[in-house]
Structure 1
Amino acid sequence: MQASEFFLCINRPKCNHRWITKYIRWEKPASGWLKLNTDGSFDDLLGNAGGVGLIRDEQGNWVAGFTRKLGKANSFIAEAWALRDGLMLCKQLNLSNVIAELDAKALVDALNKPSFDNSVISPLSDDCKQLASQIPRIVFRHIYREANSCADHLANVGRPQSLDLVAYNSPPVDLAPHIMADCQGLCAKKLCLDSLLLV
């Protein structure tokens, strides 16, 4: 029976996967909205994690940002901490129209599903939901990492810093080229599975 199952498996027709090139970029928010991008980072060798976030306006201009040192944590918890800190910053600034973008799809799915329950990040996700409920209009979106490059580069600053939390009223100098690239709408190529074949 095992031999029959083996031959049945190897003789099944293979799915035709078609790969396409997508051009990915950070998109400016619509008029009257602000965009929060967050990201978490994790160093496999040292086991250190950090989280960051930045808020920009409809022109792509810097509004506020932060970096946080988390110490020992995994990448998923780092992503959740970064989003929590970002939402708290939005609340402190009394923002009313926010698009929150992050490249952690599992976290976006968790926030968009009221029934989601995970004992590991439940307190963090509960905090995120509570903070989001205090922002009049908020949308959570998953984006590719290539569209989250500013937060991705900023995450490398937050992980090794000595202070637990650092706030930025203006962008760090080494982040300026990435912010300019986003403002100019520069694209990055990404090879992706054709979504039409995944339905």
Structure 2
Amino acid sequence: MENPEKDLYSTLLCSLLTKGTEIVLNGNWKKPSEGFLMINVDASYNEAKGAGSTGTVIRDAAGGFIVAAHNYIPHVVDTPMAEAFALRDGLLLAQQIGCTRVEIQADCLEVATTMKEGGFSATAAAAIYKECCQYWEEFAAISISHCNRECIPISHELAGLALVEKSFFVWIDDPPSSILKLLVNDAATLLNQ
């Protein structure tokens, strides 16, 4: 029996390739374990303005898009605080759509380490981590891992978009056009595994 999701991505890949679209394989995106969804989170920070933004994308084990969001935060102390906000926004988005079993990838080592060690922080982001810990407890199964930025280009793109547009937006089932090529790149990686 053929996998309909794989067929969908194959069709999309073929369509893009016949139009001359360059596909750059991202060998770093990690699909979640069976029965889990993957949450990728990232943040952007503008030191001159003291503002930040977050980007989140949630996908299934086939790389299929489920939901994405970006959020502008007008007052942020530093990059690690923006990254803590990104984790919080990712957890909230997952809960809002009913996810109970998730794996999280973040490119901020401080965020991943802080949550693995119980969420205690003596930084400006302490209250955000406390909030994250409260949300964390509501999941049936949850884990977080640190990855490099190349693993999470979609959430990075969304965070950058929010910082420029100074907006908040959620996309359900229908991703924004700015991330379509990145979704296809990740799906191509999965097809080649």
Settle same-fold status: TM greater than 0.5: yes
One-letter amino acid matched to 1:33: F
Runs of 4+ in 1 over 2 A off after TM superposition: 43-48, 114-117, 160-163
**Equivalent residue, structure 1, for 2:34:** 31
Matched residue SS, 2:104:
strand
**RMSD of equivalent CA atoms:** 1.8
| Structure 2 residue runs without a partner (length 5+) | 1-25
Q: Distance in 2 between matches of 1:160 and 1:48?
A: 11
**Equivalent residue, structure 1, for 2:98:** 94
Is residue 58 from structure 1 mapped to residue 71 from structure 2 by the alignment? no
Is residue 111 from structure 1 mapped to residue 115 from structure 2 by the alignment? yes
**Equivalent residue, structure 2, for 1:72:** 75
Structure number with greater Rg is 1
Q: CA 1:126 to 1:28, structure 2 compared with 1: closer, same or farther past 3 Å?
A: same
| Structure 1 residue runs without a partner (length 5+) | 1-22, 187-199
Q: Deviations over 1:62-120 (max 9, x none)?
A: 11111100123221111111110110111122212100110000111111112733151
Higher normalized strand content (fraction of residues): 1
Q: Distance in 2 between matches of 1:152 and 1:115?
A: 23
Q: Once the 2 structures are TM-superposed, how far is the Cα of residue 24 of structure 1 from its aligned partner? A: 4.9
Q: Distance in 2 between matches of 1:127 and 1:37?
A: 18
Identity of aligned residues (%): 24
One-letter amino acid matched to 2:97: L
Is residue 136 from structure 1 mapped to residue 140 from structure 2 by the alignment? yes
Q: May I ask how many residue pairs the two structures share in their alignment?
A: 163
**Equivalent residue, structure 2, for 1:123:** 127
Q: TM-score, normalised by structure 1?
A: 0.76
Q: CA 1:29 to 1:126, structure 2 compared with 1: closer, same or farther past 3 Å?
A: same
Q: Distance in 2 between matches of 1:47 and 1:37?
A: 24
